[in-house]
Amino acid sequence: MLVKWIRCTVVDRRGFERGQRKWAGLLGEPGFRGQGGGWSRGRPGVAHTFAFWESRAFYDSFMARSYDRLATAQSGTFKDRQAKLFDYRFDVKTGFEPRFSDADLVRVAHCRVHEERAEHFTLMQEKVWNPAMAGSPGMIRGLFGEAPGSEFLVLSMWLSAAEHGKYRTERVERLALRAQTEADVASLTGDIVELEPSWTV
């Protein structure tokens, strides 16, 4: 599965949201698995969307044929757009599906990892972080993805901000020490995204 993460700064909120609803046109596309997104909790005006495709071939075919037709509706409503593609590697918890209807919040972490530490980083994600997140009652599902150049994406869906807050305060520092995160990670950026139900496709 291919994961596309898009982040941008919105300059015309109403126009952007109107355009966002046009992405419902993705539904008939071969290989399309789902899309959702929302607004950053910490950065006013920043929007995130997450799209899922069965494979790179289906995605490339869509980009060549239909992307421009759907994207024009949002033209001029945002700036600083960044889009990244990741290959799905494994679930965080079990049975990841690109569904957004049962979650209020998505936590996204984008890690650039020292090349020689990429294997260790992946192992720690499986052995330390995954069990900790999976054991948090409010965490519904998530995934771990990889892009060329030792870049990784950790995406987790949560029932509510309160549940995510409980997980953060209790565990993160202790887990980071155990996983030697500081030695692995060159840079880490992340965000907490409040999902907008009308953006779900």
- The band of 145, judged by pLDDT with boundaries at 50, 70 and 90, is very high
CA–CA distance from 22 to each of 17, 52, 57 (Å)?
9, 17, 23
Find out whether 191 and 108 touch, Cβ atoms under 8 Å. yes
Average pLDDT, the chain: 94
pLDDT digits (tens, 9 = 90+) for 72-101: 999 999 999 999 999 999 999 888 999 999
Q: What percent of the chain has pLDDT over 90?
A: 86
- Going by the DSSP 8-state scheme, the letter that residue 173 receives in this structure is H
- The band of 170, judged by pLDDT with boundaries at 50, 70 and 90, is low
Least confident of 103-107, 117-121, 135-139, 162-166: 162-166
- The band of 69, judged by pLDDT with boundaries at 50, 70 and 90, is very high
Find out whether 179 and 128 touch, Cβ atoms under 8 Å. yes
Give the pLDDT score at 117.
Answer: 97
Q: What is the mean pLDDT of residues 5-18?
A: 98
Number of compact structural domains in the chain: 1
Give the pLDDT score at 163.
Answer: 86
CB hemisphere CA count around 198 (13 angstroms):
9
Cα–Cα nearest to 195, from 15, 40, 14, 8: 40
Containing 92, the helix (H) or strand (E) segment is: strand 78-92
- Going by the DSSP 8-state scheme, the letter that residue 114 receives in this structure is -
Does residue 136 register a pLDDT over 90?
A: no
pLDDT digits (tens, 9 = 90+) for 103-112: 999 999 999 9
Does residue 165 register a pLDDT over 90?
A: no
Give the pLDDT score at 161.
Answer: 87
Give the pLDDT score at 174.
Answer: 87
Could you list the residue range(s) of the whole structural domain that residue 35 is in? 2-199
Question: Which CATH number does the domain housing residue 105 bear?
Answer: 3.30.70.100
Cα 90 versus chain centre, distance: 14
Which residues, 6 or more positions from 185, have their beta carbon under 8 angstroms from its beta carbon?
A: 111, 112, 113, 114, 121
Find out whether 201 and 23 touch, Cβ atoms under 8 Å. yes
Which residues, 6 or more positions from 174, have their beta carbon under 8 angstroms from its beta carbon?
A: none
Give the pLDDT score at 191.
Answer: 96
Q: What is the mean pLDDT of residues 144-169?
A: 91
pLDDT digits (tens, 9 = 90+) for 179-200: 999 999 999 999 999 999 999 9
pTM across the whole model? 0.94
Which residues, 6 or more positions from 148, have their beta carbon under 8 angstroms from its beta carbon?
A: none
CA dihedral 101→170→145→137, nearest 10 degrees, is -30
CA dihedral sign, ordered 21, 24, 25, 31: positive
